[in-house]
Structure 1
Amino acid sequence: MIFWSVVFAIGAAQAALLAMALWRRPVNAAGNRMLAGWIALIGFDLAVKALYFRDPGPELIRLYHFVGLFPFLYGSLFYVYVRTLTRGCGFGRGDWVHLLGFVVALLPNLGTFVQDAAGDRALYLHIRNGGAWPGGAWLDVFLFAYSLSYVVAGLVCVRRYRRALLQRRSDADRMSLHWIDAMAVSQIVIWCIALTQFLFDIPWIDYPLIYGAVSAWVFVVGYLSLAQAPVAALEDPEAPDEAPPPAAIAAADDPRFPAVEAKLSQLMSSERLYREPALTIAQLARRSGYPEYLVSAVINRRFEGNYCDYINRQRVEAARACLADGDDARTILDIAYDCGFTSKSTFNAAFKRQLGLTPSAYRQQRAAGSASQRG
């Protein structure tokens, strides 16, 4: 048990440091403060377990049992964190409803938390001899289903955010919350370990392993959360207040479509707006002189794709021309940045999707073709 006590203590120390760093981090401030509170709660949980596993006894049994109910909070806090991150708003009064699962878990255990020292000793001996904790097996089943449903709800929230972001920003990929996927998968792995421990009697899959995985998860969260890029809230302050007329949305075409299409083409070919890495559809609409909803409709109907696809096609075409130019000695990454891309991975993926080749393979192919023509 001393080994696990050390593991939990390390996890608790890491959680405390991470919570302080996240609380002070200016990027995604509302979401990071929500995450800091959640991580601090996990750190307290791990600290109590470190003390209990170092020296088990009836003195800590109530506190140990109390933090054992914290997982009822973790799934719902993950969802509230994701929602806060994508909407840019803090914890509100309506969010208290997401803590009801923890309240439900407390109810059958109230007697344990107010018992006297003799009750603590009796509970400790009961647990040490292999007895079950108060609440029964139904509480474990409810805990698993309740928390997992919130993790899934958080992932659905991320999916909706990504879909909306692709319609509004040209640099959506680098802000698409990939670290949230990793955090969610890590939690699901922990819950699977807990479910396996609950259903099967496998010697090395036990309760300490579950919280050993939680300690490891804190390190994963630390690495991912401190490296996160700024997240654009869905309620983008740059979005115009003008609401699209229902008739304009319902119509198969608007009489202004050809003019908007021509203007967009002119902005891309002459002014090369696609080179602006953080170009939003609101900014493009302002430059075009047309309402955002109309620009969006033209892109979706006339250019066959969402806003992000449309801008990236312009960027890929510009990069293709540069790569085909034998006199252009710049690196592929320099060309990608100059054309408006913000990362090598995004550029490579967009280029291969559009042309069927990686940028380096395309440049080599064009260079070989030019050499054979000269020969």
Structure 2
Amino acid sequence: MPSQVIPNQAYAFWVFVYIAAAVQAALLALALWRRPVNTEANRVLAVWVALTGMDLLVKAVYWNSLSPEWFRAYRFVALFPFLYGSLFYVYVRALIETRAFRLRDGVHLLGFGVMLALNAHVLLMSDQQMQALSARWVAGEKTIGSWFDVPLFVYSLSYVAAALVRVHRYRRRLRERRSDAERMSLRWIDVMAACQVVIWIIATTQWLATLPGIDYRLLFGAVAAWVCVVGWLSLNQPPVTSEPTAVAGEEAPPDTTDPDDARFPAVEARLAQLMGGDEALYREPALTIGQVAKRSGYPEYLVSAVINRRFGGTFWDYINRLRVEAVRVRLVDRDDARTILDIAYDCGFTSKSTFNAAFKRQVGETPSNYRKRQGQGETVTEPTGDAARR
């Protein structure tokens, strides 16, 4: 990364921040490594956080002392950002697939390996050469190491983008198969990615222009803040279910299912039976399409095709429409004095935010406004499978 600010006494506060963040990173890495939830992914994250802590600690020591003896370590950790984007991708994949780091995953570390090889001549310099290089760095020479800034930004951000694509596909897959997809949708990954993008924006701005306040202090201050964000998010994350798949032997490519399949009306009728009356399967919070298919007696791919083509949407959409209709029935019932949230949970919703969004999208107003407006007057019938068409 280019040097635009000469280390001086103004760094004293930031040195303290970096050391504090490095200590927190070490403790967080230990906690993540031992955490029983999402073990495989958390161990990848533990390594990532530990490397970030080492990066911050070395920079803090060097900036505090400006000792040439530490400049070699300083130049080494300057290559760590070539690991951060790829480790984020490996972490996301381990989280989604619930599998540990494998030897072949080392291909995602090649960027760091290549840059390490290209910078080996610097790391292997004699002490005198390293002392001279350190002096040039302290003097603010921008050419030292600046040549790898562009490949660093492109390489790292491409991995962040690839990780977000995998998360998007995972969410889509969940919506096709689970009614509680929103609760398991890895929203904290978006926050982690956004924090990284902010860090890279600061780094890019620092590289392209000299602006007041946009320097190494802000950049690695943002990294220190990122450690805190990761700590809060990672230690509060729920268990993640591996990428859902259909029952073995029942998967059929979407384009091989005849849209005029003679079984479609029978499947629709069976779904209406399961979702209406006393059964009301939609009220089960963690309902999956596999469970519905098993109860219906039809293959999962056929049930999925009926929901997608006849009801227009994913399994998640279908079930939530039924739940919203059930909530509407209860909100206009003068004898039902329960809170709106209690009613929503009773109808199968597991999240207040998901319920409010689904209700407003389907009904066009908030649940509270609907209850006030419709409260005593309108008669609403219990939902059936047909309600999901609306």
Q: Quote the Cα distance in structure 2 between the aligned partners of 1:200 and 1:300.
A: 51
Moved more, 314-323 or 100-109: 100-109
Task: Show structure 1 runs of 5+ residues with no match.
Answer: 371-375
Residue type matched to 1:260 in 2? V
2:88 counterpart (78, 81, 84): 78
- How far did 1:94 drift? 2.2
CA offset digits 1:198-234 (Å, max 9, x no partner): 0101131112221110000111111122222222211
Q: Quote the Cα distance in structure 2 between the aligned partners of 1:60 and 1:223.
A: 32
Identity %: 61
Q: Quote the Cα distance in structure 2 between the aligned partners of 1:35 and 1:355.
A: 42
- How far did 1:248 drift? 7.8
Question: Do the aligned partners of 2:174 and 2:244 also contact (CA within 8 Å) in 1?
Answer: no
Aligned ranges 1:1-375 → 2 under 5 Å: 1-132=11-142, 134-135=144-145, 137-236=146-245, 239-245=246-252, 249-270=256-277, 271-367=279-375, 369=377
Q: Quote the Cα distance in structure 1 between the aligned partners of 2:222 and 2:254.
A: 54
Paired position in structure 1 for 2:7: none
Q: How many pairs are equivalent?
A: 367
CA separation of 1:44 and 1:275: change in aligned 2, threshold 3 A: same
CA separation of 1:95 and 1:314: change in aligned 2, threshold 3 A: same
CA separation of 1:53 and 1:312: change in aligned 2, threshold 3 A: same
Question: Do the aligned partners of 1:23 and 1:29 also contact (CA within 8 Å) in 2?
Answer: yes
Q: Quote the Cα distance in structure 2 between the aligned partners of 1:22 and 1:125.
A: 39
Question: Do the aligned partners of 2:137 and 2:144 also contact (CA within 8 Å) in 1?
Answer: no
Q: Quote the Cα distance in structure 1 between the aligned partners of 2:310 and 2:131.
A: 74
Q: Quote the Cα distance in structure 2 between the aligned partners of 1:171 and 1:151.
A: 26
- How far did 1:326 drift? 1.0
Question: Do the aligned partners of 1:316 and 1:350 also contact (CA within 8 Å) in 2?
Answer: yes
Question: Do the aligned partners of 2:180 and 2:286 also contact (CA within 8 Å) in 1?
Answer: yes
| Root mean square deviation, CA, Å | 1.6
TM (norm. structure 2) is: 0.90
Question: Do the aligned partners of 2:332 and 2:377 also contact (CA within 8 Å) in 1?
Answer: no
- How far did 1:244 drift? 3.6
- How far did 1:352 drift? 0.7
Q: Quote the Cα distance in structure 1 between the aligned partners of 2:162 and 2:255.
A: 33
Paired position in structure 2 for 1:373: none
CA offset digits 1:241-293 (Å, max 9, x no partner): 11445598341222211111111111111311111111111111111111110
Question: Do the aligned partners of 1:174 and 1:229 also contact (CA within 8 Å) in 2?
Answer: no
Q: Quote the Cα distance in structure 1 between the aligned partners of 2:257 and 2:375.
A: 49
CA separation of 1:248 and 1:214: change in aligned 2, threshold 3 A: closer
CA separation of 1:213 and 1:332: change in aligned 2, threshold 3 A: same
Deviant stretches of 4+, over 3 Å = 132-135, 243-248
Question: Do the aligned partners of 1:79 and 1:153 also contact (CA within 8 Å) in 2?
Answer: yes
- How far did 1:160 drift? 1.0
Question: Do the aligned partners of 1:165 and 1:172 also contact (CA within 8 Å) in 2?
Answer: yes
**What SS class does the counterpart of residue 119 from structure 2 fall into?**
helix
- How far did 1:109 drift? 1.4
- How far did 1:300 drift? 0.6
CA separation of 1:247 and 1:178: change in aligned 2, threshold 3 A: closer
Task: Show structure 2 runs of 5+ residues with no match.
Answer: 1-10, 379-390
CA separation of 1:73 and 1:245: change in aligned 2, threshold 3 A: closer
CA offset digits 1:25-66 (Å, max 9, x no partner): 222222112111111111111111121122121110001110
- How far did 1:20 drift? 1.8
Q: Quote the Cα distance in structure 2 between the aligned partners of 1:247 and 1:206.
A: 52
Question: Do the aligned partners of 1:4 and 1:53 also contact (CA within 8 Å) in 2?
Answer: no
Residue type matched to 2:126 in 1? D
**What SS class does the counterpart of residue 375 from structure 2 fall into?**
helix
Residue type matched to 1:12 in 2? A
